[in-house]
Amino acid sequence: MRAILSFVAATLWPTFALGDVLTLSSLQWTLKNANGSIVVPAKVPSQAHLDLLEAGIITEPLLGINDFTQRWIVNDNWTYTADLTPLTEDLSADARALLVFYGIDTLANITVSGHPVAWVSNQFQQYVYDVTDFIVAPVHNDTNITVALESAYLYGLNVTSRPDAEISPTGDFEYAGIRQYIRKTQSDFGWDWGPAFVPSGIFKPAYLVTLSPNGNPNNTTSKCDPESASHPLLASGGSVFIEESSLEISKVGETPIAAPNQTADWLVNVTLGVRSVVGADFPTLTISIPELNLSSGPLTVGTIPVATNVTAFLSANFTIPDGVPERWWPHNLGTPKLYNFTITLALSNASSNGAVSFTTRSGFRTVQLVQTPYPTDELAARGIIPGDQWHFEVNGKPFYTMGTNIIPFDPFYARMTSAQVRWVLESAVKSGQNMLRVWGGGIYQPSDELTGGYDFYSACDELGIFAWSELIFSDALYPINDWLLASVDPEVRQNVRRINRHPSNAQWAGGNEIEGIVISVNQTLANGTHYLDEVAYTDCSTTRGVLSLDPYEIRYNNKTPGFIYGNGGEPVVVFTIQMLSKPAACPLERYNYDASQAFNYSTYPLSSFHSLPSFYSWEEVLTSPEDFSFNSTVVASRDHHPPAGNLSWPNPNAPQGQGQMTMAVELWLPTPNTTDANQTFAQWCWSTQIFQSLNMVSEIAFYRRGAGRGENNLGALVWQLNDIWQGASWSAIEYSGRWKALQYGMANIYSPVVIYPFWTPENQTLEVTVTSDRWDIVNGTAQLTWYDWIGNELNSSATAFSVPSLNNSVILHTQGLDNILPEGKASEDVWMLLNLTAEIDNRTVTHEQFFTPVSLATANLVDPAIDLATGPNLTFTLSARGGVAPFTWLDHPAGTVGFFADNTTGLPLNGFFLVPGIDRTVQFVPNSLLSKVAEPDPADFITLATYGTSYGGLHEVR
């Protein structure tokens, strides 16, 4: 039987062979609702919606209006049951059986063999229980494991009715007023970019780990490598279970509030949480790095008791000279070097039980969030506005943080795969991003498939992209009832320990958009100081920083007029995190959805605009021909900006968000208008994306320019990178993995050296600036060329530039249209192409942008008559046979995932200006793992471009 189970496990995880670590996925599970009217086969890991879908009880939850019609699932209780016998029938008399859950969503009673084991209430915790005594003495011959899940919604209604429940005076999204009391993904209850499915289930892998005093800790009969397992879980079995493991690398003497000494030795700290059936009075830990031929030798740690119901924590340190290991760097500043660390735990009676050993990967780097006041001499020398610093330093060097925000990848965590997540991460890297913020209203992202279902942090390590991690608290004041705090404590400890080993983890922040709410409540409620005192989150994702680091004291409203503090505020920001939510909830951030001000730098900083996904994404979910319209009920129902604030459906506030997108397109682009309804809808979708990209690129350029100005801006994290479904949102990548226009726009503006025209209409001032994120001086040449819309070159000028470290250089500053436009030309008839060539890191880089003195809605555009020629390996050459084609766009067919790259540089390229006589050749680079169409037909690729009041080259819309 064991051999059969090992085979089953091997089919689930092809690279692992499990022995004494037995997966619960191999059991035959059933799912039933509260009254037993629904009983279907189920899986682990899974969630109720997914099992009901598999059984044919429901259709795909993301289809049509299922987010509304499937609310009945939220209101029911669901129970998972399986017979444990296949995993326990060979249990030896001296063995102990540990039930291990890496994630239960969320409220559940766990029963084994008829015995109650535990009631759990936290989606973010892992749970371990010794169930041996229950297995050997079943009640009424019950051999089942049962996880009875309670409706999170109904639980929320009940818990908020408790007399001691501290009611939060803040607004909400759909399932209102309850999520603060439930340690569950907050956006499960609805958000302004996603649905409210409130899923439940055993959503992460689960195992039965058997231990025996006479067992072989390395389990050499089933492990591929008896010397060192590839994961702490796989090293378990025999007599020891490694419940938790932490590897943290820092500098000797480093503290959270002081800059690390870059020449100090490295300090490697390893902490293991273990349960054992064998006691050890003198256990040791050995830390080895084979690639460096380094070993700590046996390090003495605390004793290990004979205990399987409590966890013993063992910790050891190992120092390494500074110059020995290579450092880990984000990909745009160096190489993300990783090393294999072999951790070996030897017991005191090792002669009979050997040692437990596993290998994990990590890297050497320092990362610091600098929040101290600027030195007085630096303020004067660099013209910096007084206030506090707020930026990151890696390995002792300040750097410009460029990136986006990550939300949950799917409403149903259990169906996510590493391939899907890695594509999003790789897309971020391809667009020049070096940091992703793991948003505090979602979920703690996993480190590996074995315990988390998919990989996130390890991929970030390998790709060289920082992760700004947050505790899961968002847009609310959270109660401090003892019973809730008791649940949060292990949640935070477990996740921080788990993620410590990842060099990609840049920091831990306390939550999302809470500090502003605290300040507002403190000022408006009679007992507001109560909330001010109870919230002590550090580095909230908008914060005015600190008054003091030692002792730690948040600044809140203790400001000096004219000074800049934290990562947001007025007059400008020093580090922007563009978050989208209700303005009243976050006074630190400025929200302005007036599209007429989208490019007015005198009103900056602004928030970004949302957009619709492509026509291809709508094809995945719309079920009727009449749905394919910009303001159809189904399309509008998926615009949750602003949110309903309750369970009203369709969102009664959607017309506001739809109107904002409509106004933006009509003000700045030709209005879509064809005789084909599907084409018109497709063009509306595309146009909202083009405007979104224009707006965000403009804002990012504005912030990047701030690195050389008084605000000394050193970061921009855009809201948001990925989508959770097919609907209106601020994402740069659609749910399927398809890149929006914004993703290509970021690939352009996040280039190492960029040129950008800053146009202020009030005084008709044009400033052209070159900005660099390099540490060395960058020299190059900028070219400014004026064209008319027919494509005639009117004039051109070249300017040499030199940009200091993390700074900018103004290459043109002029005022008045008469001095800006080519002689004798009207603003509606001309545009400027800006490009540069520079030398960085021993290579030549280029960058281009454009300047239109008027909106394209009023420009005298000319039909570009685009010709699309196909070449080998999905290459496409585009030519304009008529006039200039602004934002020429290629779209790949349904069922394909990938991106378009410049055929010469290999860099992402789409949404460009196509000029007659200057052809463009791009190649579609597919993701073979995610594409459902292995060899797409070049004839299925389409082009779009803006001209007049219609769009050219939209060959086909299915």
Judged against a pLDDT cut of 80, whether residue 543 lies above it is answered with: no
What's the pLDDT score for residue 535? 53
Sheet with 753-760, strands from edge to edge, namely 753-760, 765-772, 807-815
Q: Note whether residue 186 is domain-resident.
A: yes
Of the given ranges (306-320, 591-605, 606-620), which has the lowest mean pLDDT? Answer: 591-605
Judged against a pLDDT cut of 60, whether residue 727 lies above it is answered with: yes
Q: Note whether residue 568 is domain-resident.
A: no
* Domain limit, last residue, from 810, 827, 851: 851
pLDDT band at 949 (very low <50, low <70, confident <90, very high): very low
Q: Note whether residue 415 is domain-resident.
A: yes
Residues 436, 465, single domain; the answer is: yes
What's the pLDDT score for residue 846? 97
Q: Strand 29-33 to strand 78-83: parallel, antiparallel, or no bridges (unpaired)?
A: antiparallel
Residues 330, 199, single domain; the answer is: no
Read off the pLDDT of residues 17-62 as tens digits, 9 standing for 90 and up: 345 899 999 999 999 999 999 999 999 999 999 999 999 999 999 9
What's the pLDDT score for residue 118? 98
Judged against a pLDDT cut of 60, whether residue 303 lies above it is answered with: yes
Judged against a pLDDT cut of 70, whether residue 540 lies above it is answered with: no
The DSSP bridge partners found for residue 250 are 267
Q: What average pLDDT does range 854-863 have in this prediction?
A: 96
What's the pLDDT score for residue 237? 80
Judged against a pLDDT cut of 80, whether residue 525 lies above it is answered with: no
Q: What average pLDDT does range 329-343 have in this prediction?
A: 98
Q: Note whether residue 590 is domain-resident.
A: yes
Q: What average pLDDT does range 164-183 have in this prediction?
A: 89
Residues 460, 608, single domain; the answer is: yes
Residues 842, 876, single domain; the answer is: no
What's the pLDDT score for residue 238? 87
Q: Note whether residue 922 is domain-resident.
A: yes
Q: Note whether residue 4 is domain-resident.
A: no
Q: Considering its fold, how many domains does the chain have in total?
A: 5
Q: What average pLDDT does range 271-281 have in this prediction?
A: 95
Judged against a pLDDT cut of 90, whether residue 255 lies above it is answered with: no
Domain hosting 62: range is 21-207
Q: What HEC string does 384-414 produce?
A: CCCEECCEEEECCEECCEEEEEECCCCCCHH
DSSP 713-737: --EEEES-S--SSSSSBS-SB-TTS
- Alpha-carbon distances, residue 954 vs 24, 682, 836, 905 (angstroms): 50, 9, 32, 27
Q: Note whether residue 825 is domain-resident.
A: yes
Residues 728, 781, single domain; the answer is: no
pLDDT band at 524 (very low <50, low <70, confident <90, very high): confident
SS3 797: strand
Judged against a pLDDT cut of 80, whether residue 591 lies above it is answered with: no
* Domain limit, last residue, from 207, 223, 258: 207
Question: CATH number, domain at 42?
Answer: 2.60.120.260
What stretches of 635-728 adopt beta strand conformation (E)?
715-718
Question: CATH number, domain at 667?
Answer: 3.20.20.80
In whole angstroms, give the CA distance from residue 177 to residue 881: 59
Residues 52, 189, single domain; the answer is: yes
Read off the pLDDT of residues 569-583 as tens digits, 9 standing for 90 and up: 333 334 444 432 222
In whole angstroms, give the CA distance from residue 632 to residue 628: 7
Judged against a pLDDT cut of 60, whether residue 958 lies above it is answered with: no
Residues 460, 355, single domain; the answer is: no
Q: Is 234 exposed, middle or buried (0-12, 13-18, 19+ CB in 10 A)?
A: buried
pLDDT band at 78 (very low <50, low <70, confident <90, very high): very high
Residues 780, 804, single domain; the answer is: yes
In whole angstroms, give the CA distance from residue 796 to residue 163: 74
Read off the pLDDT of residues 886-896 as tens digits, 9 standing for 90 and up: 999 999 999 99
Read off the pLDDT of residues 365-386 as tens digits, 9 standing for 90 and up: 999 999 888 888 888 888 888 8
Read off the pLDDT of residues 640-657 as tens digits, 9 standing for 90 and up: 999 999 999 999 999 999
Buried b (16+ CB within 10 A) or exposed e, 488-508: beebbebbbbbbbbbbbbbbb
Mean per-residue pLDDT over the chain, rounded? 89
Residues 728, 618, single domain; the answer is: yes
Residues 797, 669, single domain; the answer is: no
* Domain limit, last residue, from 818, 851, 884: 851
Cα pseudo-dihedral 317, 319, 324, 329, rounded to 10: 50
CB 388 within 8 A of CB 892: no
The DSSP bridge partners found for residue 397 are 394
Q: What average pLDDT does range 104-109 have in this prediction?
A: 98
What's the pLDDT score for residue 542? 64
513 is catalytic: yes
Residues 793, 839, single domain; the answer is: yes
Question: CATH number, domain at 873?
Answer: 2.60.40.10
Q: What average pLDDT does range 610-616 have in this prediction?
A: 97
Judged against a pLDDT cut of 90, whether residue 482 lies above it is answered with: no
What's the pLDDT score for residue 169? 78
Catalytic one of 513, 515, 589, 699 = 513
Read off the pLDDT of residues 905-947 as tens digits, 9 standing for 90 and up: 999 999 999 999 999 999 999 999 999 999 999 999 999 887 6
What's the pLDDT score for residue 110? 98
Residues 671, 634, single domain; the answer is: yes
Q: Note whether residue 575 is domain-resident.
A: no
What φ, ψ does residue 96 adopt, rounded to 5°? -120, 145
Q: What average pLDDT does range 742-763 have in this prediction?
A: 96
Assigned token pair, 521: 């409540």
